């Protein structure tokens, strides 16, 4: 934009029916800066995960995609059974390992890694619930 222009609208396309996502954050109070955050999007074709996107925040210098965790889910069959739970646990563990948190006054790095695993797992469960609804 130029100095004399003003943003008046943002168009966000509708989410396709085969895709669902959610953003979760952990903070001491609702309005506080996140101690850790995760955004999860799943796209299914039938019961096969064709695309998984997992973005992590507050656990690295800048927000980033957990690409190894995404790869653990893509092209896997998600049928709602116990295997889904195992896949989601593995993806959450990998995302936690991909994070690069620091110790600061809000939280220790080990706590942030733990929270990322929980947020990714919850995000995957909730995205699947939205897709199955």
Burial of 66 (0-12, 13-18, 19+ CB in 10 A): buried
Q: The whole model's pTM is what?
A: 0.90
The answer to whether the CB of 115 falls within 8 A of the CB of 35 is yes
**CB count, 10 Å around CB of 96?**
24
pLDDT in tens, the chain (133 residues): 899 999 999 999 998 999 999 999 999 888 899 999 999 999 999 999 999 999 999 999 999 999 999 999 999 999 888 899 999 999 999 999 999 999 999 999 999 999 999 999 999 999 999 999 8
d(CA 46, CA 127): 15
Domains and CATH numbers, the chain: 19-132 (3.30.390.50)
DSSP letter (8 states) at residue 66: -
């Amino acid at each position: 934009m130029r100095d004399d222009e003003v943003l008046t609208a943002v168009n966000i396309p509708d989410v396709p029916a085969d895709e669902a996502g959610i953003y979760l954050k952990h903070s001491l109070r609702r309005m506080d800066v996140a101690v850790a955050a995760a955004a999860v999007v799943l796209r299914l074709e039938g019961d096969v995960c064709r695309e998984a996107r997992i973005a992590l925040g507050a656990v690295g210098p800048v927000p980033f995609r957990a690409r190894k965790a995404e790869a653990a889910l893509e092209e896997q069959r998600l049928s709602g059974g116990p295997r889904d739970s195992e896949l989601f646990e593995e993806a959450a563990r990998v995302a936690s390992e991909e994070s690069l948190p620091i110790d600061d006054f809000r939280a220790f790095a080990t706590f942030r890694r733990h929270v990322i695993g929980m947020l990714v797992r919850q995000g995957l469960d909730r995205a699947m619930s939205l897709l199955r609804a």
